[in-house]
Structure 1
Amino acid sequence: MNSFSSSHFTTPSHAYQMVKGRRADAINYLITQGVNPASAGAQLCAQGTIVTQYLANISWPNGQTVVPGCPTIHVQESSDGKSLLAQLTTAPIKHYIETLEFEGLPVVGEVQAKNPFALIEDATREAVIDAMTEAQTVTLLTTEGSMVLPLMRKSASTLVKLVDGEGLDHARRGEGRISIGTEKRFSIHAQTQDGPFKTHARHLRTDDAGTGLQNRTGFSYTPPSLPRVAPGSFDPSHASLRACIVRGMELVNETIKQVRTKAVRPKLRLTKEANDCLQHMAIQSRQAAQSYPPFLRTYLSRHAERALREAGSHHLFEYGIQGEITLATMQMADRFSADSFNAFCVLTDEQPKLTKQEDNALTLESLIYAQAIYFGPRLSVTKLRSLTVNIGLTKGQFNAALPLLCIQGKVYVERDWLYYVPLMANGWPRLSS
C-alpha cells in the first residue's frame, strides 16, 4: 500500500512502468527522450480512456460496477510540450475517429449508421449535453484546460452523473429537456498551466457543490524544470508509440462494433488476489484519510475507486475484454491513484494567510531592521514608537505587533531598550540584574 507521500515527484518514473505492455514501452521511450514521466503518463491515460470507456463495466467485489478510466487534469508550464505530446498520443486517435466513413453502411435494427464517438474542446455544459445526445461515448479533450475547472465547479452535479455512467433523466437543452441513457459514456482529459489552475484551486479545497467531481479525477503535475528535449526531436513513428496508436484504433473499431450490434456490455472482474488488494487499499486509504483536512480526506476516501477505474482501463487497453484484472495491474493502479493524491496535495497547497497582527509584525520588523543597520541592534522603544507613523502603523498596532516579535525570538525588550537579535554578533543580550 502506498504511503501517500510526495516522494514520487523525486523519482523519474510512472505507474505504467510497473507492468509490461504497450504503455510501459511508450513511456520508457518518452522518458529516454527527456519527457517528464507525469506528462507522458497523462497523455497515455487520456488515450486509453477515450478508447476503453465504452467497452465494459468494471466490477467491485460486491457486484456493483464502475466505468473504466478516470477523468484527468494535468498541470505543467506553457513551454513544456503539452501540444507536442498530444500529437504523438491522442491526436492520431482523434484524427482516426474523425475521418471514419459511416455513409453507406447498412442500418442495423433501427440504428442509423453514424460515428458513436465525440471528442470536443468546448468546455461548456451546453456543448457536453449536445455531444451526449448525438454520440455514445464523449470525451472533453483539450490542451488548454483553463476553462475546464470552472465547468467542473459550476456543472459538477451534471458531470459527475455522466462520469459515473448514471445518465440524466431531465437534462436541460435549449428551452426543452432531454434524457441521456446509462449506456453512454463521458470523460474529461485536460491540460492546463500552473497559473490558471491556482486561480481555481481554492474551489477544489471546498467542494462547494458537494458532488465530489474532483474526487473522481486523477491529477498529475510536472514541476518547472530546465528543458531536456528539443521540440521535434521525437520519432512519431517509433515502434512503442505506434503500437499504442494501432491498439487505440483497434479499440475504436471494437467500440463501433458494440454500438452497431447493440451488444450487451461485458462486466470485467478481478482475480481473487486483485480483489483482496482492492479491499485492503480501500480500508487503508480511508484510515489514512482521517489525518488530513476535510477536502483531502474526501479525495483520499475515493482512492480505491480511482484505482479500480484505472485498472479496468489499463486491462482493456492491453488485453481487451478477455480474462480478469490481475494483482499486478491493481498494484499499478494503486500507485497511479496514490500519485494522483500526491499531485492533488501539491496543486491545492496554500500558504496560510497572515493575520493582521502578523502582517503588522512584519512591517514593524522592516522598520527595526532599517534602524538597526544604521544605529546598531540596540534601539530605543520610545523612538521606534514615534517612527511607526512613517510605516502606517498606529500606536495600538505597534503595541500588539511588538510582543509577537518577542515571542518569535526576533527581538528582546528590556525597559526602553529593544535588541534586534538577528544582527547581534553574540546572540541574545546579557540580561541586566
Structure 2
Amino acid sequence: MVSPINHDDVQAPEFPTARGCPFAEPSGYATLRAGGAPVSRVTLYDGRQVWIVTGYEAARQVLVDNEGFSSVRNDPRFPATAPRFAAASKIRNFLGMDPPDHTRQRRPLTSSFTVKRMASYRPGIQRIVDGLLDDLLAKEPTVDLVPAFALPVPSMAICHILGVPYADHSFFEEQSRRIVHGESSLEESTQAFANIRSYMADLIDAKRRERGDGLLDEMVTIFLDSGELTRDELSEMALLLLVAGHETTANAIALGVLTLLERPVVRNELGRTPPLISNVVEELLRLLSIADGVPRFATRDTEIAGQPVAAGDGVIVAIAASNRDTAVFSDPDTFDPHRSARRHLAFGYGIHQCLGQNLARAEMEIALSTVFTRIPTLRLAVPPEEIQLKHPAGLHGVVALPVTW
C-alpha cells in the first residue's frame, strides 16, 4: 500500500501562483520543473498537499484514466484549488461526474457540438462580430475591448445557440464572474450558482410550455420528455453550458487580441494569409492555456510517471505547464503560428475534453481575423505593463483591454 502524502515532513510551494506576464505560464511552474520530474507537490489554500503534474505525457495519463483518477466534485477527497470552488461541489452535472453518470448525461449532447454543426453557426457568429465592430467603430476611442467586444461575442453566441434570451445577459454574466473570479468568496459563489440554477429552471419551465428551436429546447425534449433527467438535473447541465460557453472564450479573445497587438509580424502575415488564422488560434490556445489546474483525486494506489500516488491523494494537472513541455513543443515560450500545436491540452483530454471546443475555435477565429481586418490600426491605448491580469485562481485573462485606432 502506498502511504498518503505526509503533510508534516514535506515542504511544498503554494498553488496557484500568479502569472507575471500575459504570455507566460504561472511563475512557479519553472521551479517545479527544475528537479526534472513531471510530478511534484504543492500546497493548496487550506494547507492540503496534493500532487501537481507538469509534464505533458503524465498529464495525459491522468486525464485519460477515469478509473484511477476521479472527477467527482462532491467527494471530500476532491481537491478544491480556492475557497469559492467548494461551491461547485453542490453542482451535479457531467463535468463533476465519472462514468456511467458522466456518459449518461454527456453522450446525448455530443451530436450538438460536432465540427459540422459548429460550422453551421459560423455565419451567425460572423454577424455578431460585425455588429459589435459596427458599434465599436461608432464610438470615440479609447474603448475597453473586454466589455465592448471580447465578452459579448461568445455571450451572444451561446445565448443564440442555447435559446437563452440575450436580454438577460447582464444577469448571467455577473453571476458567472462571481463563480470564476478570484475576488469572490465561498458565499458569493454559492449564491451565484443558486441564482443561475434558479434562472435556468424557470427558463426550462417556459420552454416546456412553448418549445423553441435552441439547444436547450432540444435538451428538454431529449432529457425531460423521456424522463431521463429531472428538471433540477437539466438545470445544472444548462448552467454548465451557459457559464462555460462564454467566460473562457471571452478571456481567450481578449488575450488573443493582446498577443497579436504585441506581435505585428504575425499580425501582418495573418493579413496576407487569412487561412493562417486556424494555426494562430491553436498556438494561442497552447501558449495562453486559459483554464489551468484541472483537479482529480486518486481512487486507488497508483503511479504517475513512476511517482507512487496513494488512494485519496489529490492531483492537479497543470495545463499551462504541460503545454510548454519541451519534449513535445520545441522553444515552447515562443509564439510560433507555424508549429503543429493541435496536440495541446488547452481543452483537456479524454472523456472530459471540452464539449464546446469547436465552438470556441470558431468564435476565436472569426473574432480575431475580423477585428484586425476591419481595424488594421488597432493598438493599445496604455503601455503593455499597465494591463492588469485576473486573479491566478480563476481563469487566465485581463481585467480590461483599453484600445484605440
**Which structure has more strand as a fraction of its residues?**
1
Instruction: Specify the TM-score bucket, using the shorter chain as the normaliser.
Output: under 0.3
TM-score by length of 1: 0.24
Bigger radius of gyration: 1
Q: With CA pairs under 8 Å and 6+ residues apart, which has the higher RCO, 1 or 2?
A: 2
**TM-score, structure 2 as length reference:** 0.26
